Structure 1
Amino acid sequence: MFRGIRPLLRGSTYAGALFAHGGAFASIPLLVLALLPVLEWRSAPYGVRAALVLVVWAALIGAVGLARPTRRVLIVCARRLLHVPLPDPVAVRRSPSRSGAGTAPPGAAPASPAPAAPSGADRGRTAVWLLLHVALGWAGGLASGVLLLAGLTLPGNWLGAEAGVSLFGWTLRARGGWGSWAAALGCLLLAAVVCVAVTGALRWLAPRLLGPSSAERLALAAERELLLAERNRLAHELHDSIGHTLTAATIQAAVAGEVLSADPVAARAALRSIEESARAALEDLDYVLGVLREEKSGTAPTRTLADLPELLDRLRHAGAEVVPELTGEPAQVQGTLSRAAYRILQEGLTNALRHGAGGPIEVRVAAAPDGLELGVVNRTGAGTGRSPGAFPTSGHGLPGLAERVRLLHGEFEAGPDGPYHWRLTVRLPVRLPA
C-alpha cells in the first residue's frame, strides 16, 4: 500500500507535472498563430475549422522540434525536472585519414571533436517528443485543474451551499456534510494521480525519444575510449617521471647522508642531482595537472634519447654503476619514437635501482636504419643493503611498458636472464632520415 502512494509524496512527481504543464503553456503562442488562418475562413463548418487549427498547431509544434537547439534544451529540462539520466548530445569526432589510421602513439594529443549536430532522425524524434509533451501537458493540465477545482469547491456544501463543478454539460455536486468532504478528498487524490500518470508517461518516453540514438551511442563509446586512453597516457607520464624521480632521489639522499662527512664533494653532487631530478619531475607534474584541469598547460615536457646522458648521470650520483653501450646514431631517432624510447629506458633503469642487487647496470641502445633496440640488464638477488619493502611498487611498470611498446608496433621481452640477472629488451621499428 505504501509503495503505491509513494509516488504521490515525491517532489519529482510534481516537478515532472510542472514540466508537462510548462510545455502546454509554451505552445499557446503557436496556438494563436494556428488560429489566424481560421479567422479568414469563417464560412467553413465548425468541425472543419477546429480540425484545421489542430493540424496547423501540430505542424508548428513539430517545426519547433526540428530546430537544432531544441533537442539540447529539452534534454537538459527533462534531466533536471524528470530526473531521467539523459546524456548530452555527443560531438562526432573526425575520422582519421587512411594514412594516419590506427591508435595514436603514446604522448600524442587527442583529436579535437567536430561540433555536434543532431541527425535528421534525431530531430524527427524530438518533434514527436514535443508533440506528445504538449498533448500530455494539455490533457493532464485540464484534468488535474478540473479535479483540483472540484476538490476546493465541493466542501462548500458542508455549510449548506449549492456548490458544484460543471464541465461540458456534466455537473459534479455533492450534497450532505461528510459526503462533500469525501468527494473533495477523492478529487484531490485523483488530481495527484493524474500528475503521477503524466510524469510517468514522460519518463517512459524521454529515453526513447530524447535518449541517444545508435549513432550517438557509438559516439559516446568513442568518447569514453578516448578519455580512457588520455587517462592511461597521463598515468604513464606520472608513473615514468614521478616514480623514477622518487626512487632516484631516495637513493641519492641516502648516498649523500653516508658520504656527507667523508666526501662533501660527492654529497653536494648527489644533492644537486636530487634538485635537477625534482625540477624535471615538477615540470611533468605541472603539465599533467594542467591537462586534468583543462587548462592551457603549455608544451608537454619532451625528453628524448638526447637526454639519456643526463639520466645516466643521475643514476651514477645515486651510487649505481652504469655501463652504456650506444651503437649507431641514436641522436637521429626523433619525434614520438625518441620520446617513447627515453621513457622505456627510464622505467627499466628505475626498476633496476629498485630491485637490483648492486653491480653494474648495462644499458644498450642500438639504432639501425630499420629498427631501434633498447636493453637494460641488472643483477638480481640479495645483498643490496635495502629492505625488501623499501620501494613498494604498484605493479603497473612492466604492463605499462608492454602497452607502450605494443602501440608502437614493437617487440617487448622482460624476465630472468640466467640465475643472477634480469633483462629488459625492446625492439621498435624505425625509419631513420637519409
Structure 2
Amino acid sequence: MIRGIRPLLRGSTYAGALFAYCGALASLPLLPFAMLPALVWRSAPYGVRFVLTLLVWAALIVVVGLARTTRRVLIVGARRLLGVSLPDPVVRRRPTGSPGTASAPVVSSGADRWRTPLWLLLQVALGWTGGLAGMVLLGAGLALPGGWSGAEAGLSLFGWSVRVGDGWSSWVVALVCLVLVPVVCVVVTGALRWLAPGLLGPSSAERLALAAERELLLAERNRLARELHDSIGHTLTAATIQAAVAGEVLCVDPVAARAALRGIEESARAALEDLDYVLGVLREEEPGTAPARTLADLPELLDRLRCAGAVVEPVLSGDLARVRGTLSRAAYRILQEGLTNALRHGAGGPVEVRVTVAPDGLELGVVNRTGTGAGTGTGAGVFPTSGHGLPGLAERVRLLHGEIEAGPDGPRHWRLAVRLPIRLSA
C-alpha cells in the first residue's frame, strides 16, 4: 500500500509529467500548418479533415525529430526531468593528442535514425493524452460536488455525460477524480521512463562506437604513460649523474662542470615539454603540438649522455631518413629507455648503441657493461629484471609487430636488441 503511494509523493513524478506536457505544448506551433490541408479541402467530411490534420501534424513532428539538435535537447531534458541516465549522442572523436587522426561522426542505420521522431511522437501523444485527462479529472473533481453545481451534479464532454446525485456520492466521485490526477502523472512518467532507454539511449552501433572510443582512450593513456616514463625516467637518471659529475669536478674542471650543468638544463627543458603536453591531455585541455622526438634527435640524446660522463659508442648504418613517422618516434623512445637503463644500472663502462636500417627492417641495439654478477641476480651493476622499463619496451615493440631480446651477453655485458619491420614507417 505504502509502496504504491510513494510515486504519488515524489517530485520526480511530476517533473517527468512536465516533460511530457512541455513536448505537447512545443508541438502547438506546428498545428496551424497542419490545419492548412483541411482548410483547403473544405468539401471533405469533418471526420476526414480531422484525421488529415492529425496525420499532417504527426508528419511535421517527425520532421522536427529528424534534426540532430532535437535529439540532444530531448536527451538533456530526459536526464534532468525524467531522471534517466542517458549518455550524450555518440560522436566518434580522435583520441586526444593523437596527431593525424581524423574525426568522423558515427553513421547510424536507418532504424536508429527514426528512433528520435518516434520518441517525439510518443512524448507529444502522452503529453496531450495525460494533459487532457488530468484537466478533465481536475475539472470533474471541482464541478461534481452538489454544493458547487446545484441539486444534481454532472459532467458532459464530447457528447458523453455523467450525472451524480446530490449528497455524499458526488463528493466521493469528486475525491476519486482528484486522486486520479496524480495517478495520470505517474502513468505518463512511467511510460516515458520505460521508453527512454530504447529510443533515446545508445543504439547497438553507438554502444560499439562508445566501446571503441573507450578503447582508443585507454590506448592513448597507456601510450602517454609510456612516453612519460621514458622521458622523465631518462631525464632524472641523466640529471642525477650529471649533478654528481658537476659536484666532483666543480673546483678542478669548471668547464666540465658547466657542461654537466648545461646538460641538466637541456634535459630538464625537454622533459618539461613532454610533461606539459601529457598534463594538457590528462586535463582534457586542447594540447599543443606533441613533442614528436624521432631518430633525428638521437645525436642530441647522445650528447646529453656524454655530458653526464657516459662513454657512448654509436654505430649507425643505413639511411635513417627512410625511417619516418610512428616507427621513428618509437625507435627513439626504445633507445632512450635502453640508454637510461644502461646509465642507471651499468658499471660505468662504454655503452654501444647500434642503429641499422636494413631493406626490410630496423635493428636497434644497446650493449653495456654490467660489472660482476651480470645475469646472476647478485652483485653491483646488475640490469633490472623487474619494473616498468622492460615490460613497457616489450609492449611498444609488440604493437609495432617487432621482436625484442633483452638479457646477458656474456659474463659482463647486458644486451638489448630490437628488430622492427620498416614497412610500418609508411
Deviation readout 1:88-137 (Å, 9 max, x if unpaired): 3333689xxxxxxxxx9xx9625222356654323322222121111111
- Counterpart in the other structure of 1:340: 330
In structure 1, C-alpha distance between the alignment counterparts of 2:164 and 2:108, rounded to whole Å: 48
1:424 maps onto 2:423 in alignment: no
Q: Does 1:324 align with 2:316?
A: no
Deviation for aligned residue 1:259 = 4.2
Instruction: For residue 364 of structure 1, give the secondary structure of its aligned residue in structure 2.
Output: strand
Q: Is the 8 A contact 1:363 1:377 kept in 2?
A: yes
Is 1:113 matched with 2:96? no
Q: Name the CA distance, whole Å, in 2 between partners of 1:140 and 1:432.
A: 62
Give, in whole Å, the separation in 2 of the partners of 1:150 and 1:419: 99
Change (3 A) 1:65 1:326: same
TM alignment of 1:222-261, pairs within 5 A: 222-261=212-251
Alpha-carbon offset, residue 276 of structure 1: 0.7
What RMSD, in angstroms, separates the aligned Cα atoms of the two structures? 3.8
**Corresponding residue for 1:36?**
36
**Is residue 2:396 matched to residue 1:404?**
yes
Map of 1:7 onto structure 2: 7
1:170 counterpart (159, 162, 171): 162
Distance in 1 separating the partners of 2:333 and 2:323: 14
Which residue in 1 is equivalent to 2:298?
308
1:383 alignment partner, one of 363, 376, 380: 380
Name the CA distance, whole Å, in 1 between partners of 2:407 and 2:144: 87
* Corresponding residue pairs, total: 413
Residues 23 and 108 (structure 1), Cα distance of their counterparts in 2 relative to 1, 3 Å cut: closer
User: Do residues 280 (structure 1) and 270 (structure 2) align?
Assistant: yes
Distance 2:88 2:37 in 1: 38
Deviation at 1:312?
2.5
Equivalence map 1:92-171=2 (5 Å): 109-115=99-105, 119-150=109-140, 166-168=155-157, 169-171=161-163
CA contact (8 A) 1:63 1:127 kept: yes
CA contact (8 A) 1:322 1:361 kept: yes
Shift of 1:71: 2.8
Deviates more, 1:273-282 or 1:255-264: 255-264
Task: Please report how far the alpha carbon of residue 250 of structure 1 lies from its aligned counterpart in structure 2 after TM superposition.
Answer: 2.6
Give the superposition deviation at 1:238. 1.7
Distance 2:143 2:338 in 1: 84
Partners of 2:110 and 2:176 in 1: CA distance:
46
Secondary structure at 2:333 match in 1: helix
1:143 corresponds to which letter in structure 2?
A
Amino acid at match of 1:247: T
Residues 313 and 350, structure 2, Cα contact 8 Å, conserved in 1: no
Determine if contact 2:140/2:155 at 8 Å carries over to the other structure. Answer: no
SS at match of 1:241: helix
Q: Aligned pair in 2 of structure 1 residues 144, 416: CA closer, same or farther (>3 Å)?
A: farther
Match of 1:101 in 2: none
* Distance change in 2, residues 1:312/1:155 (3 Å): farther
Q: Which stretch of structure 1 is more off in the superposition, 162-171 or 357-366?
A: 162-171
Partners of 2:311 and 2:139 lie apart in 1 by 90
Identity %: 73
Change (3 A) 1:429 1:55: closer
Decide whether aligned partners of structure 1 residues 88 and 160 sit closer, same or farther in structure 2, where only a CA change above 3 A counts. Answer: closer
Q: 3-state DSSP class of the match of 1:376?
A: strand
Q: Secondary structure at the match of 2:311?
A: strand
Is 2:144–2:155's contact at 8 Å kept on the other side of the alignment? Answer: no
After TM superposition, the structure 1 stretch with the greater mean CA deviation from structure 2, 401-410 or 269-278, is 401-410
Gaps of 5+ in 1: 95-103
Map of 2:85 onto structure 1: 85
Equivalent pair of 2:24/2:127 in contact (CA under 8 Å): yes
- Structure 1 window deviating more from structure 2 (75-84 vs 255-264): it is 255-264
CA distance 1:171–1:255, change in 2 (3 Å) = farther
Deviations 1:138-168 (A, max 9, x none): 11112233334455667895x9987967252
1:366: which partner in 2?
356
Report if aligned partners of 1:68, 1:118 keep a CA contact under 8 Å in 2: no
Cα deviation, 1:247-267, whole Å, max 9, x if unaligned, reads: 222332244334444544433
* Structure 2 residues without counterparts, runs of 5 or longer: none
**More displaced stretch, 363-372 vs 166-175:** 166-175
Kept in 1: contact 2:92–2:209 (CA 8 A): yes
TM-score of the two chains, using structure 2 as the length reference: 0.81
| CA deviation after TM superposition for structure 1 residue 308, in Å | 2.3
